[in-house]
Amino acid sequence: MSTDDGRRLVAARGQNARAAIPHNPLDLIAEDHMREREVCTMIDRLVADLPIADEDLKQLNTFLRKQLPQHLADEETDLFPMMLSRCEPEDEIDKVIDRLLSDHSHAIADAPAVAEIIQSRATTVASFSDADKKDMKKFAHHSRRHLILENAVILPIARARLTAGDLKQMMRHMLERRGLKPMPDDA
């Protein structure tokens, strides 16, 4: 990955450009999970009618519209299929992944609607309607429940089961989804 690509990835992830970019894609997924938790906290603040900085609103919108779909693709296109091929039957990972894929379908459908609700507030001083608050709370609740399962079950098993080749391929695909080039030693 070139230096400029690394800076763009870091900026897209909402971090300081000097931050190190992990070479393990599972670490990037864990970072995406942390950002998603932060997004849920911002949504909670909005539901409670607490102030949110304009920059935070912009990052929240970017996450819901761009970064979350990329993250879900990382899991659905690479992580989950790799785990299904590497895990032992006693891991019962297929049941967990089925549940997560169902959650993903809801997130794909709900995230743009939540982003639209939040964007609509950016153009007005009015408070969110009760229905909008309910939808936002529901999204944050489902996201948190989903993250607990991924962080407690999926990532630890992935770290134990996936090979170095799997991780290299996953990282290459993650960078490609973001329009970034892998470093020559990552290719």
CB atoms within 10 A of CB 90: 6
- To the nearest 10°, the Cα dihedral for 62, 63, 69, 73? 130
Over residues 138-149, mean pLDDT: 96
pLDDT value at residue 184 = 65
Q: What is the pLDDT of residues 73-89, one digit of tens each?
A: 999 999 999 999 999 99
| Lowest model confidence (mean pLDDT) among 46-60, 129-143, 163-177 | 46-60
Report pLDDT for 17: 36
* pLDDT at 100 > cutoff 90: yes
Rounded CA separation 26/19 (Å): 17
CATH topology of domain 25-177: Four Helix Bundle (Hemerythrin (Met), subunit A) (1.20.120)
The most confident of the ranges 20-24, 53-57, 133-137, 174-178 is 133-137
**Token pair for residue 45?**
């603040």
For the cut 60, the answer to whether the pLDDT of residue 7 exceeds it is no
